[in-house]
Chains A and B, each alone.
Chain A
Amino acid sequence: MKAKARVVAEVDGHGRTRLAVLRGESPLLLRRTGRHTAEGVTVHLVGGAAGPLRGDELRLDVEVGPGARLEVLSVAAQLALPGRPAPASRLTVTADVAAGGALRWIPEPLIAAAGCDHVVVTRVAVEAGGSLLWRDDLVCGRHGEVCGDVLADTLVRYGGTTLHRHELAVGPRAPGWDGPAVLGAGRAIGTLLTAGPDAVTPGSAGPAVALMPLAGPGMLATAVGADIREVRAALDPLCAAGHVEGGRSRPPREITVRPPRLSARRGCR
């Protein structure tokens, strides 16, 4: 299955964020959620089909214009599954944030089901003066299940310079991934990268979470846990709106998402 989705947020004549483009196709569907507020616009990613399965080529492009504020969430975890024998499934996410723009990317976790072969390529470019909060959580296998192969390949540039470059490989093909250098007995990992004027202030370190000021203008928080609850406990407080929006509180968000229609092709076999 091949699919492309695109969202472009820009500022209208009244200084409010509007979506100039909101386009997706199954399994990458995008829905605008919540109300118009001064805090910007929220979009939910809705999985319109099972997967990703091997052979899938998915691409999501996000663009945030000058002064616009966009938040991207997802309604459910993404479950990478094996499917038929085929090349690795691949999700490419690109994001461009202009000066004065702000992007918050906080999807639900990716779950690497046994036998999956999945690559996530993330390419983010933020102009100087733009703000970024980028969260990625990964769970290694469903409950009691062995982990499939996932490669997460991330590049974040800020102001024309590479701020963060990272690859994480888990699963049977990655040597030592479950050894004490990489994840140990941990089966969930989350990272939160913030950059720009609203970056999160680094805090104290502990045996399972680190808040690290990067060499460039940003911060990375990494948490490894036995399960996703431990990771959430460490990282969710850092994603609270006040942390990246200068202490302003957000109004309660209304989530009104219609359940997606599952495509027949992805039905039970």
Chain B
Amino acid sequence: MSLATLLLLADGRLPSGGHAHSAGLEAQVTAGRVRSVADLDGFLRGKLATGGLVSAAFAAAACADATRWADLDAGLDARTPSPALRRASRAQGRALLRAGRAMWPVAGVGREPHQPVALGALAAAAGLSPGQAAVAAAHGAITGPASAAVRLLGLDPYRVHALLARLAPECDRIAEVAASRSGDAVDRLPASGAPLLDIGAEYHATWEVRLFAS
């Protein structure tokens, strides 16, 4: 279990197209709900406790057991009512696999799995543990929208990274909870939802002009 490998997988510079997605932030910025670093703090805490927890648990479960990939993928479908978010998750899963397959040997996960399943499969291929897959997922759930916030709102990048540093312990805690539940039956895995992200994603998908794909 190489720490440097984990850093590679969690690195925002991984060419997996993550920069094209704002994880729902763009819709909330346009709705006027996120204007400042304080608003971003609330957004990221909510994101981490909902989608972050779900992603981390599913990534850990996918990392732990390749025989569950199809069931986990269906479980994410059932947890993602928004078609726009299902498309975004699968697009990111596909892009992540494309980059990851060049780095480590990964097979049998399908062409376009949900992003957390792809992340878990890749983590397993890279020799990482389910707990590490969970950390990478939780970390990605907040660093993606944080970097989008800098671009969308012109927020001070130092202050945004200070916020991420404050959230790091919560990120570890969420990953720990997620990993501890990763052996549960799919219906019992975390399912925390964020209604405004669902609504925002559907609305965002109807815009003709937008900076981010989701």
Interface size on A, as a range, is: 35 or more
In angstroms, Cα B42 to Cα A126, docked, is 37
Of B41, B83, B195, the residue contacting A189 (CB under 8 A) is: B195
In angstroms, Cα B79 to Cα A207, docked, is 21
Q: Does A163 contact B (CB under 8 A)?
A: yes
In angstroms, Cα B42 to Cα A185, docked, is 11
User: In angstroms, how far is the closest chain B Cβ from the Cβ of A250?
Assistant: 28
Interface residues of B in 65-99 (CB under 8 A from A): 74-75, 77-83, 86
Contact indicator B205/A180 (Cβ below 8 Å): no
Given A176-B49, A212-B198, A222-B198, A165 and B187 contact (CB-CB distance below 8 Å): yes
Interface residues of A in 118-164 (CB under 8 A from B): 153, 155, 161-164
Contact indicator B77/A176 (Cβ below 8 Å): no
Interface residues of A in 202-252 (CB under 8 A from B): 204-216, 220, 222-224
Given A205-B199, A212-B83, A167 and B191 contact (CB-CB distance below 8 Å): yes
Q: Which residues of A contact B82 (CB under 8 A)?
A: 210, 212
Q: Does A109 contact B (CB under 8 A)?
A: no
CB-based nearest B residue for A164: B78
Q: Does B45 contact A (CB under 8 A)?
A: yes
In angstroms, Cα B200 to Cα A207, docked, is 6
Q: Which residues of B contact A222 (CB under 8 A)?
A: 81, 195, 198-199
Q: Does A181 contact B (CB under 8 A)?
A: yes
Contact indicator A166/B43 (Cβ below 8 Å): no
Given A167-B193, A169-B192, A210-B202, A180 and B42 contact (CB-CB distance below 8 Å): yes
In angstroms, Cα B192 to Cα A176, docked, is 12
In angstroms, Cα B110 to Cα A217, docked, is 23
Q: Which residues of A contact B190 (CB under 8 A)?
A: 167
Given A165-B187, A213-B83, A180 and B192 contact (CB-CB distance below 8 Å): no
Q: When each residue 174-209 of chain B gets 1 if its CB lies under 8 Å from chain A and 0 otherwise, what string results?
A: 000000000000110011111111111111011000
In angstroms, Cα B188 to Cα A155, docked, is 9
Of A162, A180, A213, the residue contacting B75 (CB under 8 A) is: A162
Q: Does B11 contact A (CB under 8 A)?
A: no
Most B-side CB within 10 Å, residue of A178, A180, A215: A180
Q: Does A179 contact B (CB under 8 A)?
A: yes
In angstroms, Cα B214 to Cα A38, docked, is 46
Given A162-B186, A184-B33, A212 and B28 contact (CB-CB distance below 8 Å): no
In angstroms, Cα B199 to Cα A166, docked, is 15
CB-based nearest A residue for B47: A181
Q: Does A186 contact B (CB under 8 A)?
A: yes
Of A169, A180, A208, the residue contacting B28 (CB under 8 A) is: A180
In angstroms, Cα B34 to Cα A180, docked, is 7
Contact indicator B44/A176 (Cβ below 8 Å): yes
Most A-side CB within 10 Å, residue of B39, B45, B190: B45
Q: Does A175 contact B (CB under 8 A)?
A: yes
Q: Which residues of B contact A212 (CB under 8 A)?
A: 81-83, 198, 202
Contact indicator A220/B49 (Cβ below 8 Å): no
Q: Does B16 contact A (CB under 8 A)?
A: no
Contact indicator A224/B50 (Cβ below 8 Å): no
Contact indicator B74/A161 (Cβ below 8 Å): yes
Contact indicator A215/B195 (Cβ below 8 Å): no
Q: Which residues of B contact A153 (CB under 8 A)?
A: 191
CB-based nearest B residue for A186: B196
Q: Does A255 contact B (CB under 8 A)?
A: no
Given A165-B191, A207-B31, A183 and B196 contact (CB-CB distance below 8 Å): yes
Most A-side CB within 10 Å, residue of B24, B44, B46: B46
Most A-side CB within 10 Å, residue of B33, B48, B192, B199: B199
Given A162-B187, A166-B191, A177-B46, A215 and B196 contact (CB-CB distance below 8 Å): no
Chain A residues in contact with chain B, CB under 8 A?
153, 155, 161-169, 174-186, 189, 191, 204-216, 220, 222-224
24 pairs from A and B in contact (CB 8 Å cutoff)? A161-B74, A162-B186, A165-B75, A175-B48, A175-B170, A176-B42, A176-B44, A179-B42, A181-B42, A181-B46, A181-B197, A184-B196, A191-B195, A207-B199, A207-B200, A208-B199, A212-B83, A212-B202, A215-B74, A215-B80, A215-B86, A222-B198, A222-B199, A223-B199
Q: Considering the complex of A and B, which 5 residue pairs feature the smallest CB-CB distances, nearest first? A: A176-B46, A179-B42, A181-B46, A176-B45, A180-B33
Apart from A181-B197, A183-B196, A206-B203, what are 8 other A-B pairs with CB-CB below 8 Å?
A164-B78, A169-B49, A179-B45, A180-B39, A180-B196, A181-B194, A207-B31, A208-B199
